[in-house]
């Protein structure tokens, strides 16, 4: 019998959620310049530092965990436009420019 640890469950949930959200953000951000993309997410590291625990462990105000997750997904999407993309939570995201 295999028991899945809470940490493994959270990682699987994060991977699944990001695998849906990040590609949607990539498409939404695709037409913006690199500078515009950066401006949109400049506050994400601070937000994750202040509220990341709410996203991972719950609590906070109604909708707050979802908002933090959404901003994380947007930040990852911006990083996906970097050459070679980005690896996060065991997932790889890379935004290929459309020809």
Q: What is the DSSP string of 26-78?
A: HHHHTTS-HHHHHHHHTTHHHHHHHHHHHHHH--SSTTHHHHHHHHHHHHHHH
Contact 71, 44 (CB under 8 A): yes
* Full-model pTM: 0.87
pLDDT in tens, the chain (99 residues): 556 666 678 888 899 999 999 999 999 999 999 999 999 999 999 999 999 999 988 888 999 999 999 999 999 999 999 999 999 999 999 998 764
Contact 13, 57 (CB under 8 A): no
If residue 23 lies in a helix (H) or strand (E), which one and from where to where? Answer: helix 6-29
pLDDT value, residue 99: 47
């Amino acid at each position: 019998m295999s028991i899945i640890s809470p940490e493994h469950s959270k990682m699987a949930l994060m991977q699944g959620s990001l695998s849906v959200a990040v590609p949607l953000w990539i498409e939404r951000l695709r037409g913006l310049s690199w500078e515009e993309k950066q401006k949109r997410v400049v506050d994400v590291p601070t937000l994750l530092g202040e509220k990341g625990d709410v996203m991972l462990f719950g609590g906070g105000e109604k909708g707050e965990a979802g908002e933090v997750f959404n901003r994380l997904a947007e930040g990852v999407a911006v990083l996906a436009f970097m050459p070679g993309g980005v690896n996060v939570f065991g997932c790889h995201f890379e935004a290929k420019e459309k020809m």
